[in-house]
Amino acid sequence: MPGGPPSRLRAAPRHVRSLWIFVSRWANLAGFGTQETDLASAVSTLRSRLLLLLLATPSVLASAALHAQGFKFSQPEVADQQEEAARARRIADQLSTPCRAELRNKKIMVMIGEIQSNGVIAAQQQNYGPHFEAINARLRALGLRTYTPEEIRRQIAQAEIDAVLRNDPDAALAASKRLGASFVLRGLISSTATGNPLMAVNQVSVTMGFRLTGSDGRHISEASAQTASYAGADVQRMALTLVNENADEVVARLYADYCRNAAPAARGGTASKR
């Protein structure tokens, strides 16, 4: 009423206030929550698919590029097999070189030494038995005549052996005459072990160098091989393994040159005597 106390709005009963939630409006609220949940799920799924696509793209592109180049993961293995087959053919060709019977009856003095890190040649033949045998056994298997290390040590003084391995022609001639050898094969092996910075192992580098000459110093053949491998603490054992791996090719080269180059000199020497 005018002039009277302000009228007070009566609050709606509690059951009326909550009616919009518990009756028809509840479905609208539930639907709104479901829509938000579906949207978040869709975004998450899309994000995952995009991530997988980004991760897969480099490998797909790389695979396509390799395929375009004709690359296969088995190629390194095939290349190794081809290289080994070529090596075997090369060795077989050299070993098929005709060799005169008179050359097979000539004796070859084989000496093996090691170039140490200070440049000094260690020539104690008893210390290089396995290395010597790796070469000597192959020469004998080819029908060539050689001396054993014991035969050499019995008739040749150590100082003379040192001189021969230093490529002293006078020492080689004197030693050859004492043994009755027509040819001298000097072999020098050097091995170097260094620590690999990425792995806790030694890396062994081995170099083999052989020079075949007549007893008079006439050059006939040279052969060498170098290789490197990883080894443990037993460096000498790995060095011997690497020597054996390369001995076939080295001996095949020496044999071929011996059969081709030694015979003419023998005929020339005979002619000069006449």
Residue pLDDT, tens place only, 180-235: 999 999 998 887 878 777 777 777 788 889 999 999 889 999 998 887 777 766 66
CATH fold of 92-265: Rossmann fold (3.40.50)
| DSSP three-state, residue 261 | helix
List C-alpha distances in Å: 102 to 107, 145, 182, 259, 264.
10, 11, 11, 10, 12
Sequence-ordered list of residues with C-beta below 8 angstroms from that of 109, at least 6 positions apart, any chain: 146, 147, 152, 175, 176, 179, 181, 183, 184, 185
Lowest mean pLDDT among 125-139, 206-220, 260-274: 260-274
Task: Grade residue 109 by pLDDT with cuts at 50, 70 and 90.
Answer: very high
Sequence-ordered list of residues with C-beta below 8 angstroms from that of 247, at least 6 positions apart, any chain: 134, 135, 138, 208
The reply to whether the predicted model has a pTM over 0.75 is: no
Lowest mean pLDDT among 109-113, 140-144, 179-183, 188-192: 188-192
Sequence-ordered list of residues with C-beta below 8 angstroms from that of 83, at least 6 positions apart, any chain: none
**What is the rounded distance in angstroms from the CA atom of residue 58 to the CA atom of residue 175?**
69
Which one has a higher pLDDT value, 178 or 237?
Answer: 178
The token duo for 254 is 């020496």
Task: Grade residue 79 by pLDDT with cuts at 50, 70 and 90.
Answer: confident
